[in-house]
Amino acid sequence: MNMIRLLLIGPPGAGKGTQASIISKKYNIPQIATGDMLRQEVKNATDLGSKAKVYMDKGELVPDSLVISMLEKRLKEKDAGKGFILDGFPRTVAQADALDKKFKELKINNFAVMELKVNEESIIRRLSARRVCSSCGKIYNMITEPPKKDEVCDECSAGLYQRDDDKESTIRERFRVYNSKTAPLIEYYSKKGMLKTVHADGEIEAINKSIVSLIEKVFNG
């Protein structure tokens, strides 16, 4: 198997984080999630975190320059040398261009782009039901994947919380942002002949199977 470098694109709540985490464990490659990295910056009250929070709370994109330099730094870390899965980056054409340039610089020429395609209304329902463990980050869904004990993590017993940007009005704004800023990437990568589409409305396991079989096809041989 060749080194796996995967870019996951999809609207909020399409299951990028869930799928990226499964893939990352299966192939032992880091999941690089710019949303998680930014939330960590906010939690640590860094300069970047305080700048990013203003946008994140409104469901808007953090400015390209901030996210691009954060991601470029992350790609230089040692673990990214064995492959990676990018979850939530790129999200604009400017970010895709920057990534292209970075890949050329790092002499990376084989990577795959997967679009997780979903129905908007069902996602809005699913996202408003999303809860995250405040300690280990495990993701639950109060409708489809509830914890055994109400609002408590099965793995570590810490409390669950709802992300500020998972409130319904914010979700709608994030979709609007996705359709105007990120959806153009579908054409961007499809023109380059690099786009693979995965229908992601179903069960986590079935969607994962489709992703794995695409990975095996693209990176085998």
Catalytic residues: 16, 91, 130, 163, 174
x/- track of binding to ligand AMP for residues 156-175 (CB under 6 A): ---------x--------x-
Three-class secondary structure of residue 57 per DSSP: helix
| 99 lies in the binding site for ligand AMP (CB under 6 A) | no
In angstroms, how far is CA 171 from the centroid of its own chain? 15
Three-class secondary structure of residue 158 per DSSP: coil
Q: Which of 4, 5, 7, 12 binds ligand AMP (CB under 6 A)?
A: 12
In angstroms, how far is CA 120 from the centroid of its own chain? 17
H-assigned helices in the chain:
16-27, 34-43, 47-58, 64-75, 93-105, 120-128, 168-177, 184-191, 204-219
| 91 lies in the binding site for ligand AMP (CB under 6 A) | yes
Minimal distance, residue 189 CB to ligand AMP, in Å: 15
| 67 lies in the binding site for ligand AMP (CB under 6 A) | yes
Q: Which two tokens stand for residue 184?
A: 């153009």
Q: Which of 34, 141, 208, 210 binds ligand AMP (CB under 6 A)?
A: 34
Give the separation between CA 129 and CA 39, rounded to whole angstroms: 20
| 56 lies in the binding site for ligand AMP (CB under 6 A) | yes
Minimal distance, residue 201 CB to ligand AMP, in Å: 18
Residues forming contacts to ligand AMP in the complex (CB under 6 A) are 12, 34-35, 38, 55-56, 59-62, 67, 88-89, 91, 95, 165, 174
